[in-house]
Amino acid sequence: MKRWQWIAISLLTVASLVVEFNIEHGDHWWSSIPAFYILFGFAGCTAIIFFSKTLGKLFLQREEDYYDVE
């Protein structure tokens, strides 16, 4: 990740926050939480990664020749 890419992302984030605080909100319970979608994206992604990996390690992942007794 190059430096300019990080700068671009930060600018985008700031722009989105500016927009967020200047427009009408939706009428859901989460609409009043500031930067909700930032948290949602970050936490959601993390949760999915950890949940899936755990599920895989515990139950689901097997060697490639698992079914090959046929």
Partner 1 sequence: MWSDLFTIPALPMIVGAIILPLLPKSLRSTTFLLFPLISLAIVWTLPDGTLVAVEFMRYTLIVCKVDQLSRVFGIIFAFIAFAGGIYSFHIRETGQQVAALVYAGCAIGITFAGDLLTLVMFWELMAIASAYLVWARRTADSERAGMRYLLVHLFGGSMLLGGILLHVAETGSLEIIRLSESGTLASWLILGGVALNAAVPPLHAWLADAYPRATITGAVFLSAFTTKSAVYVLARMFPGMEILLIFGVIMTLYGVVFAVLANDIREVLAYHIISQVGYMVAGIGIGTEMALNGAVAHAYSHILYKALLFMGAGVVLHTTGTSKFSGLGGLAKSQPVTLWLFMVGAFSISGFPLFNGFISKSMIVSAAGEAHVDTAMLLLMLASVGTFLSIGLKIPALTWFGADRDIAVTKPPVNMHVAMVVVAVLCFVYGVVPSLLYNMLPYSVTYEPYTAYHLMETVQILVFTFVAFWMLRSKFVSHPTITLDTDWFYRKPAGFLRRLVVDSLGQVFDWVEEKIMIGVKKIAIRARNPLTFARNLQAVNPASSERADFDPDVYRPPAELLIALILLGVVALFGMIVLL
Provide, rounded to whole angstroms, the least separation between the CB of residue 2 and partner 1.
Answer: 13
The CA distance from 35 to 5, in Å, is 21
| x-or-dash string of contact with partner 1, 6-45, rule CB under 8 A | ---x--xx-xx--xx--xxxx-xxx----x-xxxxxxxxx
CA angle (33, 43, 31) in 5-degree steps: 20
Q: Which is nearer to partner 1, 25 or 32 (CB)?
A: 25
Cα–chain-centroid distance for residue 56?
Answer: 19
Cβ 20 vs Cβ 34: under 8 Å:
yes
Residues found near partner 1 in the complex (CB under 8 A)? 1, 9, 12-13, 15-16, 19-20, 23-26, 28-30, 35, 37-46, 48-49, 51-53, 55-56, 59-64, 66-67, 69-70
